[in-house]
Amino acid sequence: MKKLLILTTLLFFSFSSSLIAQENDFIKEYLERLETSKNYLILVAQMMPEDKYAFKATPESMSFEENLMHIGWAMDWHSQSLMGGREARDWNADAELKVDNKSKKQMIAKINETFDKTIEFISNFDVNRLVERLDYFGADRTKRQILLLLADHITHHRAQMLVYMRLNGLKPPRYVLYQ
């Protein structure tokens, strides 16, 4: 009986260690992807002339600059508020992550800063909490899934920005793999 208890305990700790290592690998790989995504988005933002930042494909679409700042807002909300538990910013009152008369240079600096804060948050995130579940617009999702949703969201809005560049006769930067 004692041998069975010891064997069971060893198996449990081996399995637990393996799961934590996998979660650590997930975070490491996610951060690599996020850093590459940051560099590519900033390059896209730099290449669009400032006089085209207000361009919209259709009247109801977000402009290039609104897509850019929306990416920052989403990073902040997904990481700091949804995963970190901080009160969400008030979209109507908080102008930090809105266009709000910011210059191209100011918007790029704010996106860079927001990426850095998000990367720092995820770097320090307790991997054991990735399995925690949240309500995500009516869907039951783990915090690991929230990170994947954030990556998709960044890609979605960056793709709109790339189309806006093409609609303005600009050639977007070459696609960078793994971001």
Task: Name residues of the chain where pLDDT drops below 70.
Answer: 1, 4-23, 178-179
Domain ranges for the chain? 28-167
Q: Most distant CA pair in the chain: distance in Å?
A: 77
Q: Treating both helix axes as pointing N-terminal to C-terminal, what angle do 64-76 and 104-123 enclose, rounded to 10 degrees?
A: 20
In sequence order, the β-bridge partners of residue 119 are none
Q: What is the pLDDT of residue 19?
A: 43
pTM of the model: 0.85
Which residue numbers belong to the known binding site?
Answer: 70, 153, 157
Which residue numbers belong to the known binding site for a divalent metal cation?
Answer: 70, 153, 157
CA distance 137 to 135: 6
Q: Among 58, 40, 64, 43, which residue's Cα sits nearest to residue 151?
A: 40
Yes or no: domain 28-167 corresponds to CATH 3.40.190.10: no
